[in-house]
């Protein structure tokens, strides 16, 4: 038996309720986000035809975590109201300091709403005074790619290009280093 997931998240002054369920008869995963009992949007993705119950449960868990993370990070509009087909998506998961002047940046790549292993990820960065290219990376089995970045202070604009199976997406993120 496949179970769904329910999580309440408080972000700023709003409490969001995220509900993810498997619609077995429709062969889809559906996540809905509610505020004050009202659905503000959903994300629906097809299930792989060959997926068995354990795989479906893990896919539901991954989609639910992704939606919950997006709500926490303020990207709820980026993941809702999208019927997912074969499109690529890239999500900035965050950064953590690995040295006094360096951080590790983490990105998740999705294909058709599911984690995409073996995607090629390239990053370029730009500040008001300089620009450069980060080394490229390949996503792991969880669709995650990590890259080292030397802190420059202030705001950094990242341009992330992802390629997978002849498809490509470019996405831009604004990162604040915390140093001024």
Half-sphere exposure of 115 (CA within 13 A, CB side): 22
| pTM, 2 dp | 0.54
Q: Which value, in Å, is the radius of gyration of the alpha carbons in the chain?
A: 17
Write the CB contacts of 129 (distance below 8 Å, at least 6 apart in sequence): none
pLDDT tens for 163-176 read 999 999 888 877 76
pLDDT band at 180; cut points 50, 70, 90:
very low
Task: Write down the domain spans for the chain.
Answer: 5-83, 88-176
* CATH code reported for the domain at 88-176: 2.60.40.10
Give the tens place of pLDDT for each residue, 119-137: 999 999 888 888 889 889 9
- For the chain, the maximum distance between any two Cα atoms, rounded to a whole number of angstroms, is 56
């Amino acid at each position: 038996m496949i179970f769904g997931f329910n999580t309440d998240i408080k972000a700023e002054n709003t409490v969001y309720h995220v509900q993810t369920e498997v619609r077995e008869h429709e062969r889809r995963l559906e996540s809905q986000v509610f505020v004050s009992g009202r659905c503000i949007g959903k994300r629906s993705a097809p299930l792989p035809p060959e997926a068995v119950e354990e795989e479906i449960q893990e896919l539901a868990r991954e989609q639910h975590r992704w939606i919950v993370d997006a709500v926490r990070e303020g990207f709820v509009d980026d993941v809702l109201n999208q019927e997912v087909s074969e499109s690529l998506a890239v999500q900035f998961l965050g950064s953590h300091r690995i040295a006094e002047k360096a951080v590790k940046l983490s990105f998740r790549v999705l294909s058709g709403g599911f984690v995409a292993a073996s995607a090629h990820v390239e990053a370029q960065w730009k500040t008001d005074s300089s620009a450069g290219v980060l080394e490229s990376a390949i996503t792991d089995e969880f669709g995650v790619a990590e890259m080292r970045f030397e802190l420059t202070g202030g705001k950094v604009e990242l341009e992330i290009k992802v390629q997978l199976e002849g498809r490509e997406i470019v996405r831009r993120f604004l990162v604040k280093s915390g140093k001024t």
